[in-house]
Structure 1
Amino acid sequence: MYYLCAFNSNLSMLIALQDITFEFGARTIIKDSSLHIIPGDRIGLIGLNGTGKSTLLRIINGEYSISKGSVNKIRNLSLGFFNQDLLSFETDDSILNVGMTAFSEALKVEKELEELTEKLEHSQDEATLHAYSDKLHEFDILDGYNIRHKTATVLEGLGFTTADLERPYNQFSGGWRMRVLLARIILQKPDVLMLDEPTNHLDLPSIEWLEKYLSNYDGAVIIVSHDRYFLDRMVNKVVELYQQELHHYAGNYSDYEEEKVMRRELQQRAYENQQDYIKQQERFIERFKAKASKAAQAQSIAKRLDKIERIEQTDSGPSKIRMNFSVDKMPGKILCTLENVSKSFGSNTILKNTSAEINRGDKIALIGANGKGKSTLLRVIAGTEPFEGNRIPGHNVVTSFYAQHQLEALHMDNEILEELKGVGSGRTEVELRTLLGCFLFQGDDVFKKIRILSGGEKARVALGKVIIGQANFLLLDEPTNHLDMNSVEMLIDALGKYEGSLVLVSHDRYFVSKTANKIWEIVDGEIKEFKGNYTEWEEWKKRQALAAAPPKAEKKSPPIAQPVQAPQKTSIDKDLKRELQKQQKQAQQLEEQISKLKEQLKQLEADMANPDVYGDKQKFRNTEDAYKKANTDLTKANAEYEEVFEKVMELEEKMNG
């Protein structure tokens, strides 16, 4: 049952799930568990696939009814829920207009303004004019003049170009549509933002943009994600759904891992101590229950043991099964050489006269934004993509390529186990079923037909075929997309022991950091190689960015022993003073401009209320356009003034420093 109320005991509480139980048919998903959400919470909701994380979000969203407990929410709470089901949305409208639907109230007022404008062209009554003036004020309060700019900013932050904004939503693929829908939910700014696997459809720059945005988000955020880096940077609480219960941890994902190990150790020690105590008491009971002088004491101890709350032994946690790649033959020193490779799609140049070499032992990660050609380069390396230039394969190279398009190569009428047997790896059925268990196919799941599997399940089968294929050169395009954290860890472990070479594309920074020993980045059509892991590459990029940034002017006091340097100090002070005066003058000009624009807006509002103006159709339109332009100019001037003011403060600090 759901109760909507204000919480007298804690006014800052947004949502309280109290002792809830949720059952799906005969299966219990959540049992007697609680969760409280307050403003500022950044909650990482984790658990194995199929345990019910998305179900819990739907309970919070009001889609599912619980069988026991209560879900309490403050009045007028706004919720935003980003999930895969949103893909059912269809429209031919532009992605900019789809994003702008987040501002439904402002769009409604804008529509009413258009209707009133049309009415004023034919009627000059005072009531219509007042209604128009009220709506104009309301539109201004809703920041209606800036919704287009706000929407464009978020869409471009998520990877769209300015040219994309006017393209129809239905022209984009599923992954890009999900970005549009994510932008719309972000722009709504709900009190509680729930994100179910938000990074699945994002490239690295977009993930980094989302991290910066969420870091400054005013509301509470609940995130379901298998991206450890994302969780580490985003969350301040972790809630684990495990064995039908919600377990709470403070801190980010790394803190959770440490805390969980400590809790298990403490619980195991408590369990062992209790077992020792129970055995000791049972020996006493057994020894003295028949002895008259001790029988009453033995009976009392027996009753006490019956009432004792038993501590459970710690479970071993998720499966620690190992998956292993095997290599059939050793390749030569060089696996593939690319010479003067060029590749374009129409006017879009992906690769331009670039060369590279892949050596035995290389484990290369292709890094960069979507659209830069990472997957295209993988296909060029595999020899499945036409291009200009030369590709020279190495000696004894056996390649296995995992990508979404490889799903078409699966035999739809085969059972899962049968599909893996068909690879001819020589592995036993027990070994194959063990591997399928790593990829979340348990028990009779292995007998399911390929044709009835979801896209994610087919992807896991295809990855399983790659693992048992005995190739010495792997090409992996987003291999972790449909795996839970436990399976990702198994794959990392397997690739760490893999004796072959690989090139991979992945947006999972943790996965990349644990598997790659080289980084390739496509920059202006060229392959730029960095010899080192992802963490080292990130540090190198930061150093490069700092080196490229213009140096900040600093006021240095010359050493006493070298008075000859005093003129240099005077010169620096004069330069700072001139720059400060220049910025102060610009700030003064902007203040005057802002003042004039505010007066202009007041005058234009008065003009629109003048019967001589609203009675003349052309005059009214001209006045309305002038009002909109003045409002836009004021917003721009305020932004410029803030920038100049910050520069003035910085320069004054240097002068006084």
Structure 2
Amino acid sequence: MLSAQNISVSFGGFNLFDNLNFRLGTGDRVALIGKNGAGKSTLLKLISQEQHPSRGSFSLEKDCKIGYLPQDIEFENTVNLIEETYKAFNEILEIENRLEFINNQLEIRTDYESDEYLNLIQELTELTTEYELVGGYKYKSKTERILLGLGFERNDFNKPTKSFSGGWRMRIELAKLLLRDNDVLLLDEPTNHLDINSIIWLEQFLVKFRGAVLLVSHDRVFLDNITNRTIEIIQKKIFDFKKSYSEYIKLRQELIEQQKLAKKNQDKQIQNTEKLIDRFRAKASKASMAQSLIKKLNKIERIEIDQEENKTMKLNFPLSKQPGKVILETKGVSKQYGDNLVFSQVDILLERGSKIAFVGQNGQGKSTLAKIIVGEIKYQGLVSLGHNVEIGYFAQNQSEYLDGKLTILQTVEEAATENNRSSVRDILGAFLFKGDDVDKKVSVLSGGE
């Protein structure tokens, strides 16, 4: 269905991939994994032809169609939900526009016997047949079914796309992708903004999907429920096993342990051989034997242990000041956008030491409530912070606030205080930015980084 041959990618002298080779076939549901910055999103962009490799090529079977869902979605904000979703059917929409034009012409023209009039009738007949063949009489019901499956309601269909939250906007793009009858689906973090019901629906859809799926996700349960193959990107190479994610992780660890044992035995063998060489060199009668052992030693293919990507971030959130018992209290908090009442009369009391989860379906106001607490948006009611309370806020679209022209180090130094400015490099190290990494521009970082 799709194959990659000797794919290499370089950015400004840095090699991201080096001679990658793999194939995707019908029924493959592949988990694409690797640390942040390993190149997962880049590989999806290469396959979808949004980017091009420095060397190598991709080949597709005839008429193979690829659908790509990126992490970041952009929409034309002047259309409503149903209009945006119908864009999945460009061919059908073009035929519809042409049919409408022809019908209008036939209504207003009176030259019934002319060649132009007869040609319009002939084209109308041909286009009507083509319209049926490409699903023109079914695409609207198909669109509604997919949108309802993704959690939209019928009264959402005429709402402008700009009125939907990030999670819902991602679902609109996902709906378009699912409607295009693609043979290969490339999904970059598809569950990031989905609620539980929508994740379950997507799982069921992908399990039944007859084509190939290549997806990036940090949701282990989602990966295990869907995938039957795992490709991991490590140090410019890929490791490819026909195993689900958890099975692969277990197998990889077993293989690394086997490599370590084999390398230990090989190192011992090499050490013994080197001792023999040193001993034989000291005797003229054994010089030829020493040379023979040296040649044998040089021919040994040294075992290298695959790099283990097991580094983890070390996070700590120290209190700048000891807060009081009550951290936050809201009384009668309400929020309304036009005619849309998001929530009403919300009363919350948070005490020191609490760990709180805001849960609920997309669009129910979780992010809105967070923005109210940090004072980003206006509201009705009362929000009061406790004694010595300082709030740290990490938004859903936090990366949009970063300046791509700055380096990692400059970005974090701007946020530092006098108390921790001298520790900026140590803090970055805890987030796995080591050495020269801190001098990278923010614009070249992956989404996770």
TM-score between both structures, scaled by the size of structure 1 = 0.59
What is the letter of the counterpart of residue 100 of structure 2? E
Q: How big is the shift at 1:188?
A: 0.7
For 1:416, which of 387, 407, 411 is the aligned residue?
411
Instruction: Mark the CA change 1:283 to 1:410 in structure 2 (over 3 Å): closer, same or farther.
Output: closer
Q: How big is the shift at 1:357?
A: 3.1
Q: Please give the secondary structure, in 2, of the residue aligned with 1:415.
A: helix
Question: Contact conserved, 1:41 with 1:237, CA < 8 A, in 2?
Answer: yes
1:214 corresponds in structure 2 to: 206
Question: Contact conserved, 1:417 with 1:447, CA < 8 A, in 2?
Answer: no
**Distance in 1 of aligned mates of 2:402 and 2:50:** 36
**Distance in 1 of aligned mates of 2:209 and 2:400:** 41
Write out per-residue CA displacement over residues 589-631 of structure 1, whole angstroms, 9 at most, x where no aligned residue. xxxxxxxxxxxxxxxxxxxxxxxxxxxxxxxxxxxxxxxxxxx
1:284 corresponds in structure 2 to: 276
For 2:65, which of 78, 81, 91 is the aligned residue?
78
2:38 corresponds in structure 1 to: 51
Q: How big is the shift at 1:108?
A: 3.4
Structure ranking higher on relative contact order (CA contacts 8 Å, 6+ apart): 2
- Which residues of 2 match residues 308-323 of structure 1 at below 5 A? 308-320=300-312, 322-323=314-315
**Distance in 2 of aligned mates of 1:415 and 1:334:** 36
What is the letter of the counterpart of residue 419 of structure 1? E
**Distance in 1 of aligned mates of 2:337 and 2:102:** 48
Instruction: Mark the CA change 1:406 to 1:319 in structure 2 (over 3 Å): closer, same or farther.
Output: closer
Q: How big is the shift at 1:447?
A: 6.2
For 2:88, which of 102, 114, 118 is the aligned residue?
102
For 1:402, which of 376, 394, 403 is the aligned residue?
394
Question: Contact conserved, 2:402 with 2:442, CA < 8 A, in 1?
Answer: no
Question: Contact conserved, 1:249 with 1:259, CA < 8 A, in 2?
Answer: no
Q: How big is the shift at 1:106?
A: 2.6
Which stretch of structure 1 is more off in the superposition, 202-211 or 139-148?
202-211
**Distance in 2 of aligned mates of 1:187 and 1:66:** 29
Q: How big is the shift at 1:245?
A: 0.4
What is the letter of the counterpart of residue 139 of structure 2? I
Question: Contact conserved, 2:188 with 2:215, CA < 8 A, in 1?
Answer: yes
**Distance in 2 of aligned mates of 1:118 and 1:93:** 25
Question: Contact conserved, 2:256 with 2:305, CA < 8 A, in 1?
Answer: no
Is 1:244 matched with 2:209?
A: no
**Distance in 2 of aligned mates of 1:140 and 1:353:** 52
Is 1:26 matched with 2:21?
A: no
Is 1:197 matched with 2:189?
A: yes
Q: How big is the shift at 1:25?
A: 4.2
1:325 corresponds in structure 2 to: 317
Instruction: Mark the CA change 1:284 to 1:190 in structure 2 (over 3 Å): closer, same or farther.
Output: same
1:16 corresponds in structure 2 to: 3
**Distance in 2 of aligned mates of 1:135 and 1:317:** 56
Q: How big is the shift at 1:295?
A: 3.7
Gaps in structure 2 of 5+ consecutive residues: none
What is the letter of the counterpart of residue 139 of structure 1? Y
- Which residues of 2 match residues 28-177 of structure 1 at below 5 A? 28-66=15-53, 68-83=55-70, 87=74, 90=76, 92-118=78-104, 121=107, 122=110, 123=112, 132-169=124-161, 177=169
**Distance in 1 of aligned mates of 2:84 and 2:376:** 37
- Which protein is bigger by CA-based radius of gyration? 1
- Which residues of 2 match residues 565-644 of structure 1 at below 5 A? none
**Distance in 2 of aligned mates of 1:92 and 1:347:** 19
**Distance in 2 of aligned mates of 1:112 and 1:408:** 41
Instruction: Mark the CA change 1:388 to 1:107 in structure 2 (over 3 Å): closer, same or farther.
Output: closer
Q: How big is the shift at 1:241?
A: 1.3
What is the letter of the counterpart of residue 54 of structure 1? S
Instruction: Mark the CA change 1:427 to 1:263 in structure 2 (over 3 Å): closer, same or farther.
Output: farther
Question: Contact conserved, 1:30 with 1:244, CA < 8 A, in 2?
Answer: yes
**Distance in 1 of aligned mates of 2:119 and 2:381:** 73
Write out per-residue CA displacement over residues 325-351 of structure 1, whole angstroms, 9 at most, x where no aligned residue. 223454444433444544434433333
**Distance in 2 of aligned mates of 1:341 and 1:351:** 8
- Which residues of 2 match residues 353-392 of structure 1 at below 5 A? 353-382=345-374, 387-388=379-380, 391=383
Q: How big is the shift at 1:279?
A: 0.5
Q: How big is the shift at 1:291?
A: 3.2
Q: How big is the shift at 1:91?
A: 6.5
Question: Contact conserved, 1:39 with 1:220, CA < 8 A, in 2?
Answer: yes
Q: Please give the secondary structure, in 2, of the residue aligned with 1:35.
A: strand
For 1:299, which of 268, 291, 294 is the aligned residue?
291
Q: How big is the shift at 1:16?
A: 1.8
**Distance in 1 of aligned mates of 2:385 and 2:164:** 35
Which stretch of structure 1 is more off in the superposition, 235-244 or 317-326?
317-326
**Distance in 2 of aligned mates of 1:26 and 1:255:** 36
What is the letter of the counterpart of residue 448 of structure 2? L
Q: How big is the shift at 1:354?
A: 4.2
Is 1:483 matched with 2:445?
A: no
Is 1:432 matched with 2:427?
A: no
Q: Please give the secondary structure, in 2, of the residue aligned with 1:19.
A: strand
Instruction: Mark the CA change 1:432 to 1:105 in structure 2 (over 3 Å): closer, same or farther.
Output: same
Question: Contact conserved, 2:69 with 2:187, CA < 8 A, in 1?
Answer: yes
Question: Contact conserved, 1:189 with 1:219, CA < 8 A, in 2?
Answer: no
Q: How big is the shift at 1:192?
A: 0.9
What is the letter of the counterpart of residue 353 of structure 1? Q
Instruction: Mark the CA change 1:96 to 1:30 in structure 2 (over 3 Å): closer, same or farther.
Output: same
Instruction: Mark the CA change 1:42 to 1:396 in structure 2 (over 3 Å): closer, same or farther.
Output: same
**Distance in 2 of aligned mates of 1:409 and 1:375:** 16
Which stretch of structure 1 is more off in the superposition, 210-219 or 186-195?
210-219
**Distance in 2 of aligned mates of 1:410 and 1:245:** 30
What is the letter of the counterpart of residue 242 of structure 1? I
Q: How big is the shift at 1:148?
A: 1.6
Q: Please give the secondary structure, in 1, of the residue aligned with 2:191.
A: coil
- The count of corresponding residues between Structure 1 and Structure 2 is 440
**Distance in 2 of aligned mates of 1:68 and 1:75:** 23
1:625 corresponds in structure 2 to: none
**Distance in 1 of aligned mates of 2:305 and 2:94:** 59
Q: How big is the shift at 1:303?
A: 1.0
**Distance in 2 of aligned mates of 1:239 and 1:223:** 10
TM-score between both structures, scaled by the size of structure 2 = 0.82
Instruction: Mark the CA change 1:369 to 1:171 in structure 2 (over 3 Å): closer, same or farther.
Output: closer
**Distance in 2 of aligned mates of 1:410 and 1:50:** 17
Write out per-residue CA displacement over residues 294-353 of structure 1, whole angstroms, 9 at most, x where no aligned residue. 443332222111011111145453534522222345444443344454443443333333
Write out per-residue CA displacement over residues 168-190 of structure 1, whole angstroms, 9 at most, x where no aligned residue. 54666776554433322221121
Gaps in structure 1 of 5+ consecutive residues: 1-13, 458-481, 485-657
2:247 corresponds in structure 1 to: 255
